[in-house]
Every structure is written in C-alpha cells, then in structure tokens.
Chain A
Amino acid sequence: EAQVTQNPRYLITVTGKKLTVTCSQNMNHEYMSWYRQDPGLGLRQIYYSMNVEVTDKGDVPEGYKVSRKEKRNFPLILESPSPNQTSLYFCASRSFGGGQGNTEAFFGEGSRITVV
C-alpha cells in the first residue's frame, strides 16, 4: 500500500526544545516536501527535496531545517521551536513523472505540533 508515514501525530512541546518530525515514504519517490497548514492560509511549503542530498527552501523556511540522507526519509527539524511554529504539518511525496508537474502528491496524515 502506498504510504507516507509521519511521527509524531500530536506533540505539545516547550519553546526552545529541539524537535524532529519524521517522514517516510514507500513509493520510491524522488520528490518530497513539507507543508504547514494554518487556518485561512491553506498549505504553505516549508522545504522540499528533489532527491538524496538535494534540498531547498520553500515559501516559509524560517526556523526549520531538513535533511535527505536516504530516498525514503525526509525529517523536519525545529531547532528552537517558538509559539508561531504551532501548526499542522504535512509531509508529501511525488514522483517526477514526465517532468510536467502533473503527478499526484501523496500526503501523510499530519503532525499537530503545539509550542507553548
């Protein structure tokens, strides 16, 4: 079964305490990305990765780091979380298909992170 798995699903943490949200996909997709979902704003891309060891900033990268050491995994790191990073986070993966950007993105179930 095609899957994108995120952990944790829910977390309440304190300001400044480093946390990592893991993401793993089993579809051998080259492209992976992280989004945050906030009320009234839809989903905004944080970081993306075209392949192993290739990562780049999305629209809202401040306060986040990522790494792509293996094709299947793409963890999101909040080095020093702040309350404005309280959000619902989604990991997604896509194949490149024909290179036309028309392939389906598969999403994880989301990680609700609250920073107090």
Chain B
Amino acid sequence: GDSVTQMEGPVTLSEEAFLTINCTYTATGYPSLFWYVQYPGEGLQLLLKATKADDKGSNKGFEATYRKETTSFHLEKGSVQVSDSAVYFCALSDLTGRRALTFGSGTRLQVQP
C-alpha cells in the first residue's frame, strides 16, 4: 500500500537558518503530494501541495518539488523564523475511491531565537 517516510525529529535550528525536511513516498500511479503544518494545540493546516511531477508548491517562504524519479517531496525554507516552530507532515492522496490522505509520522521543528 501507499506509504510516506519523513525524517525523524525534532529538528532544532537557529533563526534564519536553512531548513530541509526530507520526505519520500511509495505509491502506485501519480498521487497528489502535500505538506501540512500543525501548530501547538491546533489542527492541521495545508502548507503547500503539488499535483504532478516537477510541480513546485510554495507558500509562506516554504517550497517543495514533486520529484517522480526519486519519489520525493522535500520541504525547504531559506530562512526560518521562531514562528515556524511546529510539526510538519508530508502526505499523499490516493487516487482510488477511498481518497484517503496517507501521512508521514511528522517532523517537529524547533526554531531558537
């Protein structure tokens, strides 16, 4: 079945550092790929998405490119802020009738001033 693998956390960075959170997936066909963010005490919010190979999703300075050849969707940001501290989830949407989101285990990011 479909699966998503994310790098283990927590990731601790200083403000203005470069961020990469790795995400790889296993799926049949061409799923849509997502990054969701969960701030403390809140539900998940969509951060960005990509729906086909070589698409780049971007939002709030975050970017991720859908790489079919490496089955990856790594999240990057050039300069993190304290307010980016959260848990980040990579997910894919299956294309069968169930239309479920399959999530990775999440990566906690802590940004220190």
- Give the secondary structure class of B's interface: loop
Indicate which residue in A40, A42, A94, A108 contacts B99 across the interface (CB closer than 8 Å): A94
Q: How large is the interface on B (under 10, 10 to 19, 20 to 34, 35 or more residues)?
A: 20 to 34
- The reply to whether B51 and A42 contact each other, CB–CB distance below 8 Å, is no
- The reply to whether B43 and A107 contact each other, CB–CB distance below 8 Å, is yes
- The reply to whether B46 and A101 contact each other, CB–CB distance below 8 Å, is no
- The reply to whether A101 and B31 contact each other, CB–CB distance below 8 Å, is yes
A58 near B: Cβ within 8 Å? Answer: yes
Q: In chain A, what residue has the closest Cβ to B44?
A: A107
A contacts, CB < 8 Å to B? 4, 31, 33, 35, 40-45, 48, 50, 56, 58-59, 90, 92, 94, 96, 100-102, 104-105, 107-110
A-B residue pairs, 5 tightest by C-beta: A107-B43, A101-B93, A102-B32, A42-B103, A102-B51
